[in-house]
A and B are shown apart, each in its own frame.
Chain A
Amino acid sequence: MEGTDRVFERLVRDNQNRIYALGLALTGNRHDAEDVAQDTFVRAYRALATYTPERIRDLKQKAWLHRIAVNVVRNRVRGVRPRLVELNGSEPDHASGPEEDVLRKAEIDELAARVACLPVRYREAVVLRHVQELSYAEVADALGQPVGTVKANVHRGLKLLRGENHGNRDD
């Protein structure tokens, strides 16, 4: 029990930025990103409590957490529509690090919102491959899809992102 808590503490500290970034890229806003990240870790903790020590030791933590996070987002979207992006930046409680100045933050938020407009199947693939920089095999594992499907979805997703200027904006 004590051991699980230690493992989990390290897991959170090592992966919090990564999972938060994933949440931001998938949901398109910081508020939902934090919810997603928090849910992901809470689920991970509950799961860890039921695992044997061997299973915990052999766990591929990164891929495992990504899979949980993707499922958290999928389940959320089933219930609620993604929130509209707050254009006036009214979320003062999310203190950003010193390196993340206001301008940069606004750019990132805009980018996240753009990614969040992609259809879900492209969005998941693009985010895991190019934001989180997982290998195609890892992405396929996290999404539970064949590698070929993932590759195609990444390709189509990127194409949509690039073509947005002369593509369909109201999607």
Chain B
Amino acid sequence: MATVMIDLKRLGDVKAPAGFSDRVLAQVGIADSYAKFETVLGPVYVAWNHLGVSAAMRSKSAAEFEDWFRKDVGRQLTRVEPPHDLAAKIEDQLEGKRRMRFDLRGLTPFSQAVLRKTLEVPRGQVRPYGWIAREIGHPAAVRAVGTALANNPIPYFIPCHRVIRTDGVIGNYGGGGPEAKAKILTLEGVQLKRLQTLARSGLRYEGVRSTKIFCFPTCYHGRRVREENFVFFHDENEARSAGYRPCKDCRPAVA
């Protein structure tokens, strides 16, 4: 008689499978999942949750990545088998063929604005720190922009490497120092030599004779122009007094 009841009680002693609670926490977005991916930039650890990619780092080991994530982002982290299409999505994102969603919770509104703006810099182009500052409505906060970019939790994905100093110096890079930054920019098709030669002579903008429009030297609209048809300017006033107006696409100055 009683055996059924004893049996039933044993049924209640079953344990949930290993890692179950972590998976649940990841599913509701309290904890993030992560995996290691082979990319054009080499192996990168990438963390994500239901809101999007939350972190990426070229850490030496999984343990190093986990430590950094817990300290910096402050959430739980679980290593998982990545969804089958994620590797391809990451590849596309890094090659500029796709726009992924990002989870920037936990960052200050200012940092979020800086990173969102940075996402708008197209592949193959660069912008000065001051440009980001002006575009997000804090023209004086140039150094703060530098700090926000230095602490970018998702480098490569959010292209902080496309923001450089006006004097042509590449500037620091959290994702592997100035050399790595120069390497990624070259990979994306930026003519660093030309850019730096111009910057060293103090020339920040290029104008096109026929259109009377001036751009940042990496702007897409300058690519079809022959070198002898360019005029170069030191600053906005010089360009404007020569009768040029700012490009509406790369927005070197307020139109």
What chain A residues lie within 8 Å of B20 (beta carbons)? 16, 20, 34, 37-38
Query: Smallest distance from the beta carbon of A57 to chain B beta carbons, Å?
Result: 20
Q: Is A78 an interface residue (CB 8 A)?
A: no
Of chain B, the residue at the smallest CB distance from A16 is B16
Structural contact, B12 and A12, CB atoms closer than 8 A: no
| Interface 0/1 of A9-33, CB less than 8 Å to B | 1001100111111001100001000
Q: Interface stretch among A63-71, A79-87, A93-101, A141-149?
A: A93-101
Structural contact, B30 and A17, CB atoms closer than 8 A: no
| Interface 0/1 of B12-45, CB less than 8 Å to A | 1111111011011101101000000000000000
Known interface pairs A95-B18, A161-B4; A41-B28 also in contact (CB < 8 Å): yes
Structural contact, B14 and A24, CB atoms closer than 8 A: yes
- The distance in angstroms between the C-alpha atoms of A112 and B28, with both chains bound, is 29
Query: Smallest distance from the beta carbon of B26 to chain A beta carbons, Å?
Result: 11
Of chain B, the residue at the smallest CB distance from A162 is B4
Considering only residues 111-156 of chain A, those with a C-beta below 8 Å from chain B are: 111-112, 115, 126-127, 130-133
Q: Is A108 an interface residue (CB 8 A)?
A: yes
Contact partner of B12 among A21, A41, A45, A161, CB < 8 A?
A21
Q: Is B120 an interface residue (CB 8 A)?
A: no
Structural contact, B11 and A111, CB atoms closer than 8 A: yes
Q: Is A56 an interface residue (CB 8 A)?
A: no
- The distance in angstroms between the C-alpha atoms of A9 and B21, with both chains bound, is 8
Known interface pairs A21-B12, A24-B11; A38-B4 also in contact (CB < 8 Å): no
Structural contact, A97 and B15, CB atoms closer than 8 A: yes
Judged by DSSP, the binding face of A is: helix
What chain B residues lie within 8 Å of A13 (beta carbons)? 21
Structural contact, B17 and A12, CB atoms closer than 8 A: no
Structural contact, A131 and B11, CB atoms closer than 8 A: yes
Structural contact, A38 and B8, CB atoms closer than 8 A: no
Query: Smallest distance from the beta carbon of A51 to chain B beta carbons, Å?
Result: 15
- The distance in angstroms between the C-alpha atoms of A46 and B25, with both chains bound, is 12
Structural contact, A96 and B8, CB atoms closer than 8 A: no
What chain A residues lie within 8 Å of B223 (beta carbons)? none
Structural contact, B15 and A38, CB atoms closer than 8 A: no
What chain A residues lie within 8 Å of B17 (beta carbons)? 20, 30, 34, 93-96
Q: Is B226 an interface residue (CB 8 A)?
A: no
Structural contact, A9 and B15, CB atoms closer than 8 A: no
What chain B residues lie within 8 Å of A100 (beta carbons)? 14-15
Query: Smallest distance from the beta carbon of B83 to chain A beta carbons, Å?
Result: 16
The 10 closest A-B pairs by CB, nearest first: A20-B16, A130-B8, A16-B16, A45-B28, A131-B12, A21-B14, A41-B24, A94-B17, A95-B18, A12-B21
Given A16-B24, A42-B24, A131-B11, 7 additional A-B pairs, CB 8 A: A9-B30, A19-B16, A34-B20, A95-B18, A108-B11, A127-B11, A133-B9
A-B contacts, 30 listed (Cβ < 8 Å): A8-B30, A12-B25, A16-B16, A18-B12, A20-B16, A21-B11, A21-B13, A21-B14, A25-B11, A30-B17, A34-B16, A38-B20, A45-B28, A46-B28, A93-B17, A94-B17, A95-B17, A96-B15, A97-B15, A100-B14, A100-B15, A108-B11, A111-B8, A111-B10, A127-B11, A130-B8, A130-B9, A131-B11, A131-B12, A161-B8
